[in-house]
Structure 1
Amino acid sequence: MKTVFMLGVLFVMSLAFASMVSAHGYVSNPESRSLLCSEGVNTDCGAVVYEPQSLEGPGNFPEAGVADGQIASAGGVFPKLDEQSETRWAQVPMSSGAFTFEWSLTAAHSTTSWDYYITKEGWDPNSPLERSDFELFCTYNDNGQRPDFTTTHDCEIPQREGYHVILAYWEVADTANAFYQVIDANFDGEFVEPGDPGDPEDPEEPVDTPEWNADSVYLAGDQVTYNGATYQAKWWTQGDTPGSSDAWELVDGDGTDSGNTDVLEWDANKAYSGGDQVLYNGTQYEAKWWTRGDTPGSSDVWVVVS
């Protein structure tokens, strides 16, 4: 009789445990910090690269929940995510106003609510994230319903400029836990690579490229402008007109060789960063910022190189 009782207790406990761990998900649009870790865009992330959906911690945020300084890691589950600075994480381009957030769930779970917070104006991007940094701007109540595996919410993002962090919070209904997903957003409209301050007030100094002079001697690698285009000498030359001589190659504004034979064909499933080059339908393009799935020649993210 005792053995039967113990087996019954273990069975109930196993059901409870299965219920607790059955709910997992991450924000797929815009791509969250943990998802960009799993995609290799963010680096030095720790084990979250294998399970970006598992940022589960105590619920009832912000009255309770995870501790300040551990919001991004859901209470220290993946502590690397709590490292915080203006240049630590890739920043996805976003705009204020109407936006549809998308969650990808690997296991659905009955849900209490979905909340969206954004850092306040004047927050310190170089200090650990605290609940006092955030303000609530969007809420959806599910009243215990089980969500779809792809769940979307239409929200209105407050006016922001520059780098801000959005906290997407999913509170489940039949456990005391919740899921935390932070999104690093750049409201200046461009993707910012990790380690790049992306400060629009401190642009990179432009390269001073001289106009071509028929009397000047140029060595391999020298660059000139001619008829509004920039050219680079392939070898020693004098008097050879750019655009009309094999001694010159057309280059982009950053001096990238447009004749690079190592450029690969564009892949719709691959993520590209600013400066990456691809071939598409016989034309070479360069990405102006981070992109994935945007077809060269049909999107402003790509510029023709040659």
Structure 2
Amino acid sequence: MRGLKKRAAFVGAIVAPALALSLPASTASAHGYISDPPSRQAQCAAGTVSCGDITYEPQSVEGPKGLSSCSGGNSRFSELDDDSKGWAVTPVSSSTSFQWKLTAQHATSTWEYYAGGQKIAEFDDGGAKPGETVTHQVDFGGLKGQQKVLAVWNVADTSNAFYACIDVNVS
């Protein structure tokens, strides 16, 4: 009986690691989005605007780096690209804080902000992993009036980025 227990323990010690290695790795189910001022996906999640899948996954707007779409090129979230959808516009000053809510921290190369067809700010994190929130103070320069801001979180160790659009009225 004692030999049988030793053999079972030995087989278990060999099989368990092999089994663990053969199981599929789980992928991260969440990432991040702009929560303040409320991005389009934050408005969907809050029910401010009626949306599809993005309502349940505001943190999941991920796509290849270098895109300029609110959906990050993801057809599941294409309603984020629809400028006529009735997005709430937030009044802001010419220098405004944008806060990202992060549900999975990724090594970060840069954070970029675009408005009026031009880059208005860039923050270089040099590969650092952020905390649960990240806030950037963005200066709109001479831009005034209603603007659609495209915020991009460029991940350092993949070819992807996270995208968020925020509708603001710069005073």
Query: Shorter-chain TM-score category?
Result: 0.7 to 0.9
2:29 and 2:52 map into 1 onto residues whose CA distance is: 22
When residues 55 and 93 of structure 1 are mapped into structure 2, their CA distance, relative to the original with a 3 A threshold, is: same
Matched, 1:46 2:29: no
Secondary structure, aligned partner of 2:38: coil
Secondary structure, aligned partner of 1:107: coil
Native 8 Å contact 2:53 2:76 kept in 1: no
Equivalent of 2:131 in 135, 140, 148: 148
Matched, 1:104 2:87: no
| Offset from partner CA, 1:241-285 (integer Å, 9 cap, x none) | xxxxxxxxxxxxxxxxxxxxxxxxxxxxxxxxxxxxxxxxxxxxx
Residue 112 of structure 2 aligns with an amino acid whose one-letter code is D
Residue 93 of structure 1 aligns with an amino acid whose one-letter code is P
Secondary structure, aligned partner of 2:72: coil
Matched, 1:139 2:137: no
Native 8 Å contact 2:33 2:39 kept in 1: yes
Equivalent of 1:30 in 11, 27, 37: 37
Matched, 1:114 2:120: no
In proportion to residue count, which structure has more helix?
2
Residue 164 of structure 2 aligns with an amino acid whose one-letter code is Q
Aligned pairs, how many? 155
2:121 and 2:89 map into 1 onto residues whose CA distance is: 21
Residue 32 of structure 1 aligns with an amino acid whose one-letter code is S
| Identity among equivalent pairs (%) | 42
Match of residue 7 from structure 2: none
What TM-score do the two structures reach when normalised by structure 2?
Answer: 0.80
Secondary structure, aligned partner of 2:154: strand
Match of residue 81 from structure 2: 82
Please tell me the root mean square deviation across aligned C-alpha atoms, in Å.
2.3
Residue 41 of structure 1 aligns with an amino acid whose one-letter code is T
Equivalent of 2:71 in 70, 73, 89: 73
| Offset from partner CA, 1:279-298 (integer Å, 9 cap, x none) | xxxxxxxxxxxxxxxxxxxx
Native 8 Å contact 1:101 1:155 kept in 2: yes
In proportion to residue count, which structure has more strand?
2
Larger Rg: 1
Higher relative contact order (CA closer than 8 Å, sequence separation 6+): 2
Match of residue 168 from structure 1: 151
Secondary structure, aligned partner of 1:147: coil
Q: Give ranges in structure 1 of 5+ residues lacking alignment.
A: 120-133, 189-306
Secondary structure, aligned partner of 1:36: helix
Q: After TM superposition, list the pairs within 5 Å mapping 1:1-306 onto structure 2.
A: 10=22, 14=25, 18=27, 21=28, 24-43=31-50, 45-59=51-65, 61=66, 66=67, 71-75=69-73, 76-85=75-84, 88-96=86-94, 98-119=95-116, 134-188=117-171
